[in-house]
Amino acid sequence: AADEGKAASSENSGEHANNPARSSANLEDNIFDKIERLASLHAKGIVTDKEFEAKKSELLGRL
């Protein structure tokens, strides 16, 4: 079973290498997902305004 996971993982990385547009879209989706989770933590008061803005800027800079 562990070998199957490794094989699937290498197949997926190969797909992204052959399709940079898809890889870029997945990266953007992942960054936006992280920002949404960060916003949720901010809304709950777990993350301060300053922490939220700093991390959001960092994530947006990766786009």
Label residue 48 by pLDDT band (50, 70, 90).
Answer: very high
* For the chain, the helix, strand and coil percentages under 3-state DSSP, each to the nearest 5: 85, 0, 15
Extract the tokens encoding 57.
């800027």
Domain assignment present for residue 10? The answer is no
Domain total for the chain? Answer: 1
Domain assignment present for residue 54? The answer is yes
| Residues spanned by the domain of 51 | 20-63
Convert the pLDDT of each residue in 24-45 to its tens digit: 889 899 999 999 999 999 999 9
Label residue 1 by pLDDT band (50, 70, 90).
Answer: low
Q: Beta-carbon neighbour count of residue 13 at 10 Å?
A: 11
Q: Could you give the C-alpha distances from 36 to 7, 41, 43, 54, in angstroms and in order?
A: 31, 9, 10, 14
Dihedral of the alpha carbons of 27, 29, 30, 31, in degrees to the nearest 10: 90
Domain assignment present for residue 58? The answer is yes
Domain assignment present for residue 1? The answer is no
